[in-house]
């Protein structure tokens, strides 16, 4: 099985690029983040034409996660147990945002995750981000206690760069989110719960990124961040035979829409 994750940064804008890549890459399961549309607005037909079933949760023009699979799409679950809620306005009721979607695909439990950004270290969204990660960690640890052998893939945009080498210049991120010690500790806590980064062993080294900002020629200047990950349970990690970051999909291409600011991340399972 070939399993991939991709922050598509608006699926309605980039459906042609995503579907074209799916066809060329021979991917069986694709988890998507930042679809930025409601369920009714998701472009299902191009995926169906290639033989993919799609599960999606999107509430408005923000966030949104999806899973496209050609090897089955069972036991669909919107949000994980204990997922924190959020409201940007005191007068509005806090809700569970469209940031987590689970489904069983070809025997693998796949979770498409879009971790909150955090914004700034002083913003309430930062505390929300840490609470969200802690809740995910506790829930995921519970899944393994129930079934230690279960192959589980926690995939998506984690909005954390766990190591200094995962950003182009640590000095540029001084006092910023994504590299703070609490965020990195939260990411490490996932490893402590036995969910390991199954991509890094195949893509080790500085300058290996998954995201490049649109501004200031960041991609051309190699000013990126590694923030998209596939974390696998022991039952999944044991099956990984290869992994790659498809950097080429971040490049502009003639005759197509602009690329996402993220690149797909892929693992092969034996």
Q: Which residues are annotated as a binding site for Mg(2+)?
A: 7, 34, 157, 159, 261-262
Indicate the annotated binding residues.
7, 34, 157, 159, 261-262
- Cβ–Cβ under 8 Å, residues 60 and 94: no
Query: Residue 66 gets which letter from DSSP?
Result: E
Active-site residue (options: 52, 114, 126, 211):
114
Active site residue 157: yes
- Write out the two tokens for 102: 């689970």
- Cβ–Cβ under 8 Å, residues 75 and 43: no
**What whole-number distance in Å separates Cα of residue 216 and Cα of residue 230?**
28
End-to-end CA distance of the chain: 7
**Cα torsion through 104, 108, 109, 110, rounded to 10:** -90
**What whole-number distance in Å separates Cα of residue 70 and Cα of residue 50?**
8
Active site residue 138: no
Exposure of 94 in the CB half-sphere (CA atoms within 13 A): 8
Active-site residue (options: 126, 211, 228, 262):
262
Active site residue 209: no
What are the φ/ψ torsions at residue 116 (nearest 5 degrees)? Answer: -55, 150
Active-site residue (options: 52, 56, 128, 157):
157
- Write out the two tokens for 190: 């996932």
Q: Which residues are catalytic?
A: 114, 157, 262
């Amino acid at each position: 099985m070939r399993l991939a994750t991709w922050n598509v940064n608006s699926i309605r804008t980039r459906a042609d690029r995503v579907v074209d890549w799916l066809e060329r890459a021979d991917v069986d399961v694709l988890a998507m983040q930042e679809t930025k549309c409601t369920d009714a607005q998701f472009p299902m037909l191009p995926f169906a034409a290639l033989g993919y079933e799609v599960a999606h949760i999107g509430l408005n023009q923000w966030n949104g996660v999806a899973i496209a699979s050609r090897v089955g799409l069972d036991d669909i679950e919107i949000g994980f147990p204990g997922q924190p809620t959020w409201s940007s306005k005191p007068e509005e009721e806090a809700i569970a945002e469209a940031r987590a979607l689970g489904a069983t695909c070809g025997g693998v439990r796949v979770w498409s995750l879009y971790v909150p950004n955090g914004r700034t270290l002083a913003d309430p969204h930062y505390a929300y981000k840490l609470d969200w990660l802690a809740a995910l960690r506790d829930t995921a640890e519970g899944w393994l206690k129930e079934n230690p052998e279960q192959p589980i893939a926690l995939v998506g945009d984690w909005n954390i760069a766990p190591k200094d080498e995962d950003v182009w210049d640590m000095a540029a991120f001084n006092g910023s989110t994504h590299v703070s010690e609490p965020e990195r500790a939260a990411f490490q806590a996932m490893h402590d719960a036995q969910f390991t980064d199954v991509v890094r062993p195949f893509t080790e080294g500085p300058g290996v990124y998954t995201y490049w900002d649109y501004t200031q020629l960041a991609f051309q200047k190699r000013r990126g961040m590694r923030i998209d990950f596939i974390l696998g349970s022991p039952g999944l990690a044991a099956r990984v035979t290869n992994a790659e970051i498809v950097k080429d999909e971040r490049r502009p291409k003639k005759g197509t829409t602009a690329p996402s600011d993220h690149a797909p991340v892929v693992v092969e399972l034996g």
